[in-house]
Structure 1
Amino acid sequence: MSDELPPRSTARRWLTSTNHKDVGILYIVTSLYVFVFGGLMALLFRTQLWTAGELFLTGIQYNEVVSGHGLLMIFWFITPLAAGFANYFVPLQIGADDLAFPRLNALSYWLYFVSLLVYLSSFLIGTTLATGWTMYAPLNLPMYTPAIGGTVTVAALAILMLSSTIASVNFITTIHYCRAEGLSLLNVPLFTWTWLLTVWMMLFAFATLLAALLLLGSDRVLGTLFFVGEGPGGSLLWGHLFWFFGHPEVYIVFFPPLGLMFEMFQTFSGRRVVGRKWVILAMILIALQSFLVWMHHMFLTTINLEMKTLFMATSIGISLPFDLIVFSLIYTLVRGKIRFHTPFLFALGGLILLIPGGITGVFLGAVVLDYEFRGTYWVVAHFHYIMLGGGGTALIGGLYYWFPKMTGRMYDEFLGKLHFAVYFLGFNLAFGAQFVGWETPRRVFDYAPGLTEWHQVMTIGAFLLGGSFLLMFYNFAKSIRSGDQVEGSPWQYVRTAEWATASPPPLENWPGRPTYTSGSLEFVSRAAPDGGAAQSADKPAIESAREHPSHSSPWPVVAAVGTGLLFLGIALAQRSMLDAAVVGIAGFLVTTYGALQFGLEEFHAPESPVAARWPFDGVGKTKLGMWVFLASDVMVFGAIVGSYVFARANLGWNAWETVPPSAIPGLVNTFVLLTSSFAVVLALEYARRERQAGVVASLGATLVLGFVFLGIKGWEWSEEFAHGVYWDSSIEASTYFVTTGLHGIHVILGMFVAGFLLWRSWNGAYLDDPRPIEYFGLYWHFVDIVWVFLFPLFYLL
């Protein structure tokens, strides 16, 4: 680790930097590469659709390209592009020096990058996933998509979910804990507000998808029966899990562009957003309601009519707060003096395209109309008008809006406006025509001959849309080299703090410590704060102020590469156990080494000892981060246990055959884990009393009890195997082995941490600072509580 960053011209800078601005640029550049790659896929299958029937792509190839386009654009482009903006600008907007956990921020990016590489590798080792981006069961099972590439895709998505969870924990902690002094949560900029709501939704929605992917991975690699099921239940289970993620994902994608619309409308109209507090309330309501409408994607399934009617009501109800937001944007413009710069054109275009997208979505929320439109190009058109039209268009505007801030150079305004004109025309030709040709079935290359002309219009529009970005990339490349220099802000009316520092911002962001105590942004000396200010609960204020912040670490990229190899090895087990063992063991060793060095590294995160921390004053940022992470893990186990409940109800609650023949081993293990939690409490108390021997003994007892738990569980499993019961024997066995196995993995991970703490405490650590033991205790107690729920579910009921 080095406090000084290498020059930007070196690869080492980009491989090791933990600075939020560098990580933001990495996200933006990578996501734009994905955009080009996914766009070329779209042009490929649009060329196929010039005429009906097979042209140059076979059926499976067409499905691969369509699926790849959807997966790349949704998972690896649009939200990561917004994450790049958030990485770069959220700390600047709230007056922070960096994110709360800079190394975790770098790790989240490298996991994202590695997940992309793992997914792209699926095209090289056989047929990749060809089920559409929704991966519906039973098409997602090996009996229909047997190629190893499908399993590698599942592994890549699981890695991406880990990346998103780490990023969500980091941003939630940062925004709640690291705001500049005097900056209340209600007064943070609207882009930061939309990103805060986005990462809260990501925390819970992506955890549910991670659980679904773990179950799908076990079906594909181990042969479990979650999505095969007895009768139609497995397919319905995937629908519930996927769409509980899938509908919040719409708002996860759209909220950051919405925040950008607010910022650009304010800047280019010279007016504050009309009804700002009501807008914030509306967005909070939408974020909450987004988890209550998922079944409107399942109206064509066997769900009863009463339940469909209820979800039709919630689906239409969620449009009401959106109406308030749209009217707020319109009235902001009506009351302002508009300046038609390129960023504003894209922001206005996003609003114009959002409106038909939203209206056509209300059609799909009605049960009767959904029966007609589902599975047609009506859904494709609506989806693109929301995701790319409303969301992607505003994000492109964000590229132009913040380009001078990130580069210190001004783009070419004429080329920017030309880009918008061609883009807007191409978009409406490509997707507006889909509303007219809506009777085309989705995900197939055959359609009625009478729709040929409309498909040719779509293809022409798609090429115009794609070609417009050649103008953007040329504009940016030329402007970085020779554009007019920008000192501060090129815009006349800016309202957010990122414009209060140089363009591009210096490494440490600010000339002094930002404060809003006077009601407006000011800078004061970074000297030790006065005693009346809020201080960090993680470390004394004066000590924190004196530390020189670190900006570089090589271990995030090492840990990410190891994780990628580990998950790839697990996926390869579907094809070859030898390949799986070689790649998986290499990944495990690299991950373990990287994690160990990560823990040993002396790294000082930039942190202001004075900040606005409501409602978490006195909690400590690391403890807050652990709480947020455990909230995500609650969702993972909740989805897994919910799958057990669903499968049991589908099979018949009383017909369910409990797998463990005796409850005694589970009861003993319950006492073992509860005792281990008590040992962790003792370790923390001994550390607070500075009694090294007690710390070592207590942590050692925790580790021993963990081995006892795993030993009993291993014996119990071996007894099942001896009687011919395996994870693929029945749905009862699948739920038992996978759920208790996932819990066992949590125990093993906790034991690795306990062993690390034991080694450090043997050498005298934690006596002057017992907080690492406390944070580990939060995780270990959570694992024990989960077992307290699993024991009656699988042993007693």
Structure 2
Amino acid sequence: MTDEHSRTDGGTASVDGDLPVGTGDRTETDHGLPPVTSIRRWLVTTNHKDVGILYVVTALFFLVFGGVLALLMRLQLWTPGATFLAPNAYNQAVSLHGLIMVFWFLSPFAFGFANYVVPLQIGAKDLAFPRLNALSFWLYLASGVLLGISFFQGGTFAGGWTMYAPLNIPTYTPSLGGSTAILALLLFVVSVTVSSVNFLTTMHRMRAEGLTLRHLPLFTWSILLTVWMMLFAFAALLAALMILSADRLLGTTYFAATSEGGSLLWAHLFWFFGHPEVYIVFFPALGAMAEMFQTFTGRRIVGRKWFIAAMVLVALQSFVVWMHHMFLTGINLQVKTLFMATTIGISLPFDLMVFSLIYTMIKGRIRFDTPFLFAFGALLLFIIGGITGVFLGAIVLDYEFRGTYWVVAHFHYVMVGGVTGLVGALYYWYPKMTGKMYDEFLGKVHFALYFVGFNLLYFPMFVAWETPRRVFDYAPELAPWHQLATVGAFVLAVSFAVMLWNMLTSLWAGDPAPDNPWEYSTTAEWAVSSPPPLENFPGSPTYGEGSLSFRQPRAADGGEGASRTDGGVVHAEGGAHAHREEHASHASIWPLVVGVGALFTFLGLSGLQDAAFPAGMEGMFYTTSLLVGSVVTFGALFSMARERFHGPEVEEAGEKWPFAGIENMKLGMWIFLASDVVLFGAFIGSYVFIRVAFGWTEWHTIAANPIPGLMNTYILLTSSFSVVLALVAAEKKNKWGVVGGLAVTFILGVGFLANKGIEWLHLYHEGHWLSTDIQSSTFFLTTGLHAAHVIAGLVITLYLIARALRGAYLEDSRPVEYFGLYWHFVDIVWLFLFPLFYIL
């Protein structure tokens, strides 16, 4: 089989995607799921393919939402100083356009494909934690609904999508809608964290036999690296948003304290997230482009291993370039020069990837189908975006270009260039996801309109670069270029209308899609029917002999059984083993209910002003929303914990390096705690940053008496020891030892909170509270975050005690062990907080 002509129309798929693939079993059973024509199906489903479709459809809605705001902006910019929108309305349109496109459209659109395709490409029957996958979607949708509500609360956030301090505090953006928009973004980040833990556990633990990391398809590689970046970058953003929410709702003074570096602190926190976010958005598009280049050139990617190495290098470097967004701040020249070097350096791996794609085209035989047109167009646009971005990496040029439309044009050539690749992915996987073929002629019309509209819209911005960003007034001589850009915006909008018409009409009247509509496709999703069966494969996928085949599971009596979609032994999501005859579960209503509860909870929080609700009916509404939402959320989480739900099995022979000896739940807990390390690190780092800016020795410590903190240190250390005793008792099958150990942990945790509450009350009576000064804000908020973790741990402890009283954990002690990991982490964090806030 040659590299140039790796056909996929019969046979099996290779490990690294350059051997043929065959067809899958079309048989499908619902296993408790309603049919796809039922609305209830989409409310209760946890299947990764259904969730992927939900993500794609919802993201396309937000594309329209953000696109309408963009068109309103372009109409305002038709002439200098126009008043089509009121000034504050224009600021809202600019801010929400950026937020919607970056957060609610780009990443969810990419992860719709990731949800659908990645388990198929790695030979998994679903993601590791199906209900968490559904939960991540419903939290995403709830956050989007909350963002929409913000427009009706006196106006939404109007401080720019980067939310620079101090414009992000109520003094400058006072509306309740501004707070709601920030809370919506915070809820979105929670959704991302849930999804990140799920994807990383799946890709590291549930790959088919023989599918090592080195042989992963390039799209899956791009998602793997993207999710690792998301785990850490979004944790930093979560910290920033929690602090900002506290400034707006509770009256803390982090970002209002400009003399103590509050504005610069926001820039550090935001851009530590913000620059990896560029690659978080672009990597999935890059991986999809690589798959399409292989398919439509009939050629394996040239320099595949170097392509992967370049992606890994970019993912690592993305966390050490954030300060190039801060060249105009007061950071000293030596630091700026260092970050200029890292910025130029990160462009080199991208050069390698671009040349790899170009040489793949030269070596192959190109077929200009619609998906490839968009993939090739994305490459051209990204090259322009990358070259113009190098200008901004140079300190001297950045002084000239920063805050101008040069940045706007460069940013869109990169980010919307990524959208171009993802639109190609939509056409590429549309037959697999729907079982129908799109209209090829309309697809090419879409590309022609898209490419012309894109360049008409954004390229004039380079020429009119002297236009100031986020301002609708500009020099009159630049008007023709802005008018050309406005025409381009409407052409681009028409192109998406053609796409949506093509997708919808093809869904109802398109030709049936074959299992593999592309002649040279190279990955495992094309080895099964279009759309794939519920549990993906007719048996257990294996690449043990270098190509994809299906090992038939044994029947319950030990003999060879018929092909079964659950592959035999099924493991529960919580770690308990199910009987061999049980299928994996695919339906649960509780993720939806948690999402609804979270929506009302966060809506209620948006009504807080300096830790108090407004008077009268308005305050009653927000208070009721908060209480009802909290009860619904907690009740749904409790019900989800009690629900009998069987997740997909982990194949014993599957590839799991480097986590072969770690179970799914334990790995998931480790990954979650890794993100929590960044969260607390950002809070602690913010305290240190502000204290250094204030003057380390001039800083007066709020908790002047270290005794309460020392007592709490001993209390928490003792509680960790009692968790260990509970685990030992469980392993020895000592029921009352388990109950006793957990009970002692609970009592000590309550003691910790009581002692902390007494200390807080004492400080309050001495005149220290959240809004008193920056010292008080940092102390109460950071120790409050830790206290919230303790409270969450105590709720879990009560649940464990209730189950232990009924004899749980004697046969399977792993839940106690996993809880212990969390509780020990909380204790370790306190060992950092105690000296920082009580001694130093």
1:509 aligns with 2:536: yes
Q: Distance in 1 between matches of 2:82 and 2:767?
A: 48
**Offset of residue 579 of structure 1:** 3.7
1:722 maps to a residue whose letter is H
1:697 counterpart (740, 746, 760): 740
1:443 aligns with 2:478: no
2:79 partner SS? coil
Q: Distance in 1 between matches of 2:156 and 2:578?
A: 53
1:175 counterpart (200, 203, 207): 203
1:464 aligns with 2:507: no
1:547 counterpart (574, 578, 582): 582
2:151 partner SS? coil
Q: Distance in 2 between matches of 1:372 and 1:64?
A: 26
Does the 8 A contact of 2:136 with 2:191 survive in 1?
yes
2:96 counterpart (68, 91, 106): 68
Q: Distance in 2 between matches of 1:44 and 1:255?
A: 30
Does the 8 A contact of 1:537 with 1:618 survive in 2?
no
Q: Distance in 2 between matches of 1:563 and 1:678?
A: 34
Query: C-alpha root-mean-square deviation of aligned residues, in Å?
Result: 1.7
**Offset of residue 544 of structure 1:** 6.6
- Please name the residue that 1:199 is paired with: 227
- Please name the residue that 1:224 is paired with: 252
**Offset of residue 54 of structure 1:** 2.9
Q: Distance in 1 between matches of 2:576 and 2:793?
A: 31
**Offset of residue 476 of structure 1:** 1.0
- Please name the residue that 1:371 is paired with: 399
Superposition pairs of residues 365-764 of structure 1, within 5 angstroms: 365-389=393-417, 391-527=418-554, 545-574=580-609, 576=614, 578-610=620-652, 611-764=654-807
2:337 maps to a residue whose letter is T
Which ranges in structure 1 are unaligned for 5 or more consecutive residues? none
**Offset of residue 313 of structure 1:** 0.4
1:397 maps to a residue whose letter is G
**Offset of residue 542 of structure 1:** 8.6
- Please name the residue that 2:75 is paired with: 47
Q: Deviations over 1:642-697 (max 9, x none)?
A: 00000000000111111012000000000101111111111111111111111111
- Mark the CA change 1:542 to 1:579 in structure 2 (over 3 Å): closer, same or farther: closer
- Mark the CA change 1:540 to 1:33 in structure 2 (over 3 Å): closer, same or farther: closer
1:563 maps to a residue whose letter is A
Q: Deviations over 1:754-791 (max 9, x none)?
A: 00011111111111111111111111110010001100
Q: Deviations over 1:232-289 (max 9, x none)?
A: 6110000000000000000000000000010000000000001111111111110010
Which ranges in structure 2 are unaligned for 5 or more consecutive residues? 1-29, 559-566
Q: Distance in 2 between matches of 1:726 and 1:410?
A: 62
**Offset of residue 11 of structure 1:** 1.8
- Please name the residue that 2:116 is paired with: 88
**Offset of residue 154 of structure 1:** 1.0
Does the 8 A contact of 2:409 with 2:459 survive in 1?
yes
Q: Distance in 2 between matches of 1:436 and 1:43?
A: 20
- Please name the residue that 1:769 is paired with: 812
- Please name the residue that 2:372 is paired with: 344
- Please name the residue that 2:26 is paired with: none
Q: TM-score, normalised by structure 1?
A: 0.98
**Offset of residue 568 of structure 1:** 2.0
1:357 aligns with 2:385: yes
Does the 8 A contact of 2:247 with 2:253 survive in 1?
yes
Q: Distance in 1 between matches of 2:575 and 2:419?
A: 44
- Mark the CA change 1:540 to 1:144 in structure 2 (over 3 Å): closer, same or farther: closer
Q: Distance in 2 between matches of 1:526 and 1:499?
A: 22
- Please name the residue that 1:21 is paired with: 49
**Offset of residue 540 of structure 1:** 9.7
**Offset of residue 182 of structure 1:** 1.0
Does the 8 A contact of 1:262 with 1:273 survive in 2?
yes
Does the 8 A contact of 1:544 with 1:607 survive in 2?
no
1:514 partner SS? strand
Q: Distance in 2 between matches of 1:724 and 1:775?
A: 41
2:727 maps to a residue whose letter is L
Q: Distance in 2 between matches of 1:474 and 1:143?
A: 45
- Please name the residue that 1:318 is paired with: 346
Residue identity (%): 61
**Offset of residue 546 of structure 1:** 4.2
Q: Deviations over 1:516-557 (max 9, x none)?
A: 000000111022799xx9x99989999575431000001111
**Offset of residue 8 of structure 1:** 1.4
- Please name the residue that 1:110 is paired with: 138
- Mark the CA change 1:744 to 1:259 in structure 2 (over 3 Å): closer, same or farther: same
Q: Deviations over 1:604-624 (max 9, x none)?
A: 001143311111112101100
Q: Distance in 1 between matches of 2:814 and 2:713?
A: 26
Q: Distance in 2 between matches of 1:321 and 1:528?
A: 50
Q: Distance in 2 between matches of 1:144 and 1:3?
A: 54
Q: Distance in 1 between matches of 2:570 and 2:309?
A: 29
2:531 maps to a residue whose letter is P
1:276 aligns with 2:304: yes
Q: Distance in 2 between matches of 1:155 and 1:490?
A: 44
2:707 maps to a residue whose letter is I
Q: Distance in 1 between matches of 2:684 and 2:239?
A: 10
2:44 maps to a residue whose letter is T
**Offset of residue 487 of structure 1:** 2.4
Q: Deviations over 1:177-236 (max 9, x none)?
A: 000011101101000000000000000000000000000011111111101115161100
Q: Distance in 2 between matches of 1:403 and 1:299?
A: 43
Does the 8 A contact of 2:208 with 2:651 survive in 1?
no
Does the 8 A contact of 2:271 with 2:323 survive in 1?
yes
Which consecutive segments of 4 or more residues in structure 1 shift more than 3 A?
535-547, 577-580
Q: Distance in 2 between matches of 1:351 and 1:712?
A: 59
1:36 maps to a residue whose letter is V
Q: Distance in 1 between matches of 2:690 and 2:175?
A: 27
Q: Distance in 2 between matches of 1:211 and 1:624?
A: 23
1:435 maps to a residue whose letter is F
1:260 aligns with 2:288: yes
Q: Distance in 2 between matches of 1:712 and 1:569?
A: 29
**Offset of residue 43 of structure 1:** 0.6
2:492 partner SS? helix
2:606 partner SS? helix
Q: Distance in 2 between matches of 1:745 and 1:561?
A: 22
- Mark the CA change 1:542 to 1:758 in structure 2 (over 3 Å): closer, same or farther: closer
- Mark the CA change 1:528 to 1:215 in structure 2 (over 3 Å): closer, same or farther: farther
1:248 aligns with 2:291: no
**Offset of residue 323 of structure 1:** 0.5
